[in-house]
Structure 1
Amino acid sequence: MNETIKLPFYAKLTFVLLSIIALLFLLYVGQKIIIPVIMAFIFAIILRPIVMFLKHKLQFPHVIAVMFSVLIFVTLIAGVLTYISLQVTDIVSDFDKIQKNLTIHIQSIQQYIKENFHLTNREQKEYMNDATNDTLERGKEIIGSTLLSFTDTLFTMIIIPIYTFLILLYRTHFMMFLNKLFKPEYHQKLSEILNLIKVAVKSYILGLIFEMIIVTVLTSIGLSIIGVPYAILLGILTGLLNLIPYIGILVAGVLTIIVSLSGSSELSMIFGVLIVNLIVQLIDNNILVPMVVSSKVEINSLVTIIGIIIGGTIAGVSGMFLAIPIIAILKVIFDRIESLKPWGYLMGDDLPKTYEWHKIKLPLYDFDNLTDTTPNNVEIKIEIVKSPENITSE
């Protein structure tokens, strides 16, 4: 007869913390193997509808359907990268103009510092030289690590399509493995979890692609209107970098400002670039993200930011990109396992209730007086009697 051993809370907490530490350590050590597999898994989910279309509508054999799907994906990515590389070659030819205009702005900044902070150009130059000498030794290491990173990136770009092809090819085999791994009474729950993971990841990634396209189009149009050279290229780069939450758009803005110096040294051009980026981000953050992305993955902002930081620490840019899909997968699993439901709730993002304050509807984030049975879509009215401390819910 099997007996269940009940452990005290501190023992359970210790095991949980040790498991998390071990898992993060394995991800950090094996990131060069694990990250490409996860990315290939996500791409396989996206490409599966194409495989199904080729198999059932066009009557392609399974292997040929998978091969065509991966080839379409690789061709699309290669076309975008080829266009970017050709445009970057043109930008390099304008490097002298960029350097000349950048020097003009640097001299203007030096003059401003001289007039307001009473530092001569010579003193400013000495400060710059000291900073340069401090980082000179690091420069060699950065160059070496950059070359190594480029080699790793090239290898990853080759291996991911291969992984994607094999995952799609052996999809049924992997499903049978999972069925054999769990007892028959858990098969229905397993099928439900896998279907929800597929829907969540596919919806999120497709929403992200749609957001990228809209940001690319809006940025390209805005930069073209103000006369920035290479507007389409900069729009594409902004859309791609926007896939990296919070950080990508800052990098895109800096690149756009630098490239804009190839056409003019006027400050009005830089201000125009900033205004275009600001308008696009306002549209993106207030319309596209809530409508297209956030509606697909119900994860609260705190967990998102922490996940992105952890992902970036473990695997750099790839980890930041994969953070939200991985969190979404974990939330689906936690929500379907009884003992893990509290963690799924913690990661989630309930639709905030609203209350009226001076005829203005505001989100209510204080759930102290609410019960678990309160529906998320119920509007709660608040009466303000004398002071904010006297708020009571009807």
Structure 2
Amino acid sequence: MFKNKRNLLYITAVILAVYFLFLGLSKAQGFFAPLTTAIILSLVVLPLSQRMEKRIKRPYAALFNSLLLFIVSLGFFALISFQIRSFSEDWPMIQETMIPKVEQLKIFVLEHTPLDKEDLKQSGSQSLSVTSGMKKRVASFVSGISGFLANYLLTFIYVFFLLNYRHIFKNFLLTVFPDEKRDSVKKVLTRSAKVAPQYLIGKLVLMGLLAVLYSIGLGISGVSNFILVSVIAALLTLIPYVGNIIGFSMAVAFGFLSSGDITVLIGIALTFTVAQFVESYVLQPYVVGDRVDVHPFFVIVSVIIGNMVWGIIGMILAIPIMGIITVILLHIKSMEPFGILLSKKKFQSNDGN
């Protein structure tokens, strides 16, 4: 009886600890999100930095790699801003094209559903109230830009210091553990450091191939700015699951909404369907493969938790973080069962199941 109560107490304590952990991470997003992003980015450019350090001093190599990441991120934001500008220029034409279709949809709804004109008027008034609320959202968005820029620049400052002074953190971890465990700690650090770059390099190759597939399909379908749309749609696959939906919506906005041609919509749908099939069953297994040893179920769970804690940036960081956690758990004897649970490698039991 006492043992059952003690187990119940432990389970309750663990649940509360996990809850307050994620609550604290969510509240401290302004500090932890840029730092975690900087750690992942530092691991990505670490092999390049190590090669450069054979010819130049470490501070210069760290500065070069920090600036390289900064320039790449600026290029990504330039692509996004160019696409938004193009969309705003096409917006009057999109409105002109879609107004007749909206009217046709209203007539169809009135003829084939129990809704009447009063219901449609109420929905219209609600849309007006939503439109009026957009001003407040825009104001809050503008006020948040300064905070975003501060965290954005701070991320690359973190990258510089992490690359330049990484030996301090490594020595700290080695001195924390007893001497007999230092070899295993070094092994864990080495394997953990390889997870993020392997995953992101595989993802970059995958995004390049997807950009080619999207460009061919969207170009044949008649989507305007199809090359730029394809590149951005491929880059958005960094956001697991949600990125594909955003990319498809963007292609629809520049294709179907601009032209109003149903064949363009069919072409877009076929393009993304074929591309997703090729990605899931051809490119993903051979290009990305087993670079991140995390079971698909826990990939989905980690992405959902990442979104709840840190939003989009949490979704992007979720998979490499889970990969690092899995490597650490697999190399700690007492925590190995949890590593096996998260890993997608099969564990052979005595009965062979």
Same fold (TM over 0.5): yes
Deviation readout 1:233-289 (Å, 9 max, x if unpaired):
111221122111111111221121111146522111111111111111111122222
The answer on whether the counterparts of 1:91 and 1:259 sit within 8 Å (CA) in structure 2 is yes
SS in 2 for 1:94: helix
Residues of 1 paired with 2:182 and 2:337: CA distance?
Answer: 23
TM-score by length of 2: 0.90
The 5 A counterparts of 1:106-125 are 106-117=102-113, 119=115, 122-123=117-118, 125=120
TM-score by length of 1: 0.81
Is 1:206 aligned to 2:195, yes or no? no
Per-residue deviation, residues 80-108 of structure 1 (Å, max 9, x unmatched): 33244234323322221111112232223
> In the TM superposition, what is the alpha-carbon distance from 1:227 to its structure 2 partner?
1.8
1:235 equivalent to 2:233? Answer no
**Which position in structure 2 is the counterpart of 1:173?**
168
Is 1:184 equivalent to 2:179 in the alignment?
Answer: yes
Q: Distance in 1 between matches of 2:17 and 2:331?
A: 20
CA apart distance, 1:41 = 0.6
- Structure 1 counterpart of 2:195, which letter? A
Structure 1 residues not aligned, in runs of 5+: 1-6, 352-366, 375-392
Decide whether the 8 Å contact of 2:294 with 2:342 is kept in 1. Answer: yes
Higher helix share: 2
1:324 aligns with 2:324: no
The change in CA–CA distance for 1:94 and 1:163 in structure 2 (over 3 A counts) is same
The 8 Å contact of residues 34 and 155 in structure 2, kept in 1 or not, is answered as yes
Paired residues of 1:98 and 1:261 also in contact (CA < 8 A): no
Checking the alignment, whether the CA contact within 8 Å between 1:94 and 1:262 is kept in structure 2 is no
Contact 1:102–1:261, Cα closer than 8 Å, also in 2: no
Partner SS for 1:349: coil
Aligned equivalent of 1:279:
274
Q: Distance in 1 between matches of 2:267 and 2:239?
A: 24
| Equivalent position of 1:139 in the other structure | 134
> Any conservation in 1 of the 2:98–2:257 contact (CA below 8 Å)?
no
Query: How many angstroms apart in 2 are the aligned matches of 1:25 and 1:232?
Result: 41
Counterpart in 2 of 1:390? none
Amino acid at match of 1:14: T
Structure 1 equivalent of residue 84 of structure 2 = 88
Aligned positions, number: 349
Q: Is the 8 A contact 1:36 1:159 kept in 2?
A: yes
Separation (CA, whole Å) in 1 of partners of 2:233 and 2:278 = 14
Name the counterpart of 1:371. 349
Amino acid at match of 1:72: L
What is the one-letter code of the residue matched to 1:23? Answer: L
Preserved contact between residue 104 and residue 265 of structure 1 (Cα < 8 Å): no
State how far apart, in whole Å, the 1-side matches of 2:157 and 2:295 are: 34
- Inter-CA distance 138–251: structure 2 relative to 1 (3 Å threshold): same
> Counterpart amino acid of 1:220?
S
Aligned partners of 2:350 and 2:37: how far apart in 1? 36
SS at match of 1:350: coil
Q: Deviations over 1:126-176 (max 9, x none)?
A: 142243256457534433443344333322221111111110011111111
CA distance in structure 1 between the partners assigned to 2:182 and 2:141 by the alignment: 47
Q: Report the counterpart of residue 248 of structure 1 in structure 2.
A: 243
Distance 1:149 1:18 in 2: 31
CA distance in 1, matches of 2:91, 2:133: 25
1:65 corresponds to: 61
Structure with greater Cα Rg: 1
Using CA pairs below 8 Å that are at least 6 residues apart, which structure has the higher relative contact order? 2
1:48 to 41, 46, 49: 46
Within a 5 Å distance, the mapping from 1:281-300 to structure 2 comes to 281-300=276-295
Output one character per residue of 1:174-220: Cα deviation in whole Å (capped at 9) or x when no partner. Answer: 11111222222221111111111112222111112222222222112
2:43 aligned partner, one-letter code: I
Q: 2:195–2:324: 8 Å Cα contact kept in structure 1?
A: yes
- The 1:152/1:249 distance shift into structure 2, 3 A limit, reads farther
Report deviation, 1:232. 1.4
Residues 24, 119 of structure 1: alpha-carbon distance in 2 compared, 3 angstrom cutoff = closer
Q: CA shift at 1:124, angstroms?
A: 5.6
Q: Which residue of structure 2 lines up, in the alignment, with residue 27 of structure 1?
A: 25
Cα distance change, pair 15–116 in 1 and its aligned pair in 2 (3 A): closer
Equivalent residue for 1:100? 96
